[in-house]
Amino acid sequence: MLNHIDQLWLRSFHCVYENQSFKRAAEFLNLPTSNVSRHIALLEEKLATRLFDRTTRRIAATDAGEQLYARTHTLLARLDEAFEEVTQHSHEVMGQLKILMPDSPALAQAVVAFCRQNPSIGLCCDTSLSPKEDLLDGFDVVLSFQRGPLADSNWIATEIKRWPSVVVASPERLQAHPLPYHITDLQHLPCISSLTALNGTPWIFKTAQGGLVTQRVHSSFRVNSGNLAKSAALAGLGFAILPIDFCQEEIKAGHLETVALEYQPDDLVLYAFYASRKHVARKIPMFIDHLRRHANEEMSV
């Protein structure tokens, strides 16, 4: 029977019952009076019983109407409470947040700050600097450092922060090899591949017009750690691409020198990826907004 009764018919019935008037019920529901009358007629037709006795001066509920109101009043009230609770929760940050991210101190601080600000959040975090596609299922948000164009994916990518980068080398390394002036010179020099530049992935540079240029380099020192890449560059093991902010102190101290080429390295970008869904839990955009604010105020690589 319930499958054949529109909830709006019941709400119109309750409003007419409580106001003892079709007109006042229509005003309360912000509906035409004719619609309210039609709802009652349809409800009476489905129940095969009269719910109101109507006269020109007043209306009164029948015994069936009295019984229907008494038995459904609590049900509708609980239904309204359930809807309000779900709506409230959709605007709150709560539940378990599952994150896959690099093991970065700066990101760790941002995640901890978010959980502290939102005590209803439970955290489940795994760390991987360059996660594989088949590892992404089951996570709400995946954080990843990228340089260059993103690979095709079913996930939505949101940029959190970007860091301009430079090619650097130690003074000892620059004395031992001819100074490169073109990116093609790098293929003859020892280079330190870092972050996503693994397994022969070329270094990515940007032109003045915003285009991208790739250059394969000779690399016998491959790491997936920015800290390790910087340490290797400081030790004179090769040329490296590093974010400027990450090596500014070493450049000022003369421990590293920037190498000017015809193209600048492409920016290092931190992305937040989340699955494409019609309804995204409130905790996900709230966490991403928090990351952006934290990155702009405090975060370094």
232-264 pLDDT, tens digit each:
999 999 999 999 999 999 999 999 999 999 999
| Element of type H or E holding 252 | helix 244-252
63-115 pLDDT, tens digit each:
999 999 998 888 887 887 777 666 655 555 667 899 999 888 889 999 999 99
In 3D space, the residue among 123, 102, 103 whose CA is nearest the CA of residue 112 turns out to be: 123
Measure the CA–CA gap between 136 and 238, rounded to whole angstroms: 33
List, in sequence order, every residue forming a beta bridge with 263; answer none if it has no partner: none
| 67: its two tokens | 């019984």
| 71: its two tokens | 């038995």
% of the chain surpassing 90 pLDDT: 51
Q: Residue 266 pLDDT > 60, yes or no?
A: yes
> What is the set of domains in the chain, with CATH numbers?
7-87 (1.10.10.10), 95-159+272-298 (3.40.190.10), 165-266 (3.40.190.290)
Q: How confident is the model over 132-147, as a mean pLDDT?
A: 76
Q: Residue 278 pLDDT > 60, yes or no?
A: no
Give pLDDT, residue 220.
80
Give pLDDT, residue 198.
45
Of these ranges, 56-60, 188-192, 218-222, 275-279, the one predicted with the greatest mean pLDDT is 188-192
Measure the CA–CA gap between 269 and 66, rounded to whole angstroms: 66
Q: Residue 197 pLDDT > 60, yes or no?
A: no
Q: How many residues does the chain have?
A: 301
At 166, the pLDDT band (50, 70, 90 cuts) reads very high
Give pLDDT, residue 89.
56
At 283, the pLDDT band (50, 70, 90 cuts) reads confident
At 273, the pLDDT band (50, 70, 90 cuts) reads very high
Give the distance from CA 62 to its chain's centroid.
55
Mean of per-residue pLDDT scores for the chain: 86
Measure the CA–CA gap between 93 and 115, rounded to whole angstroms: 10
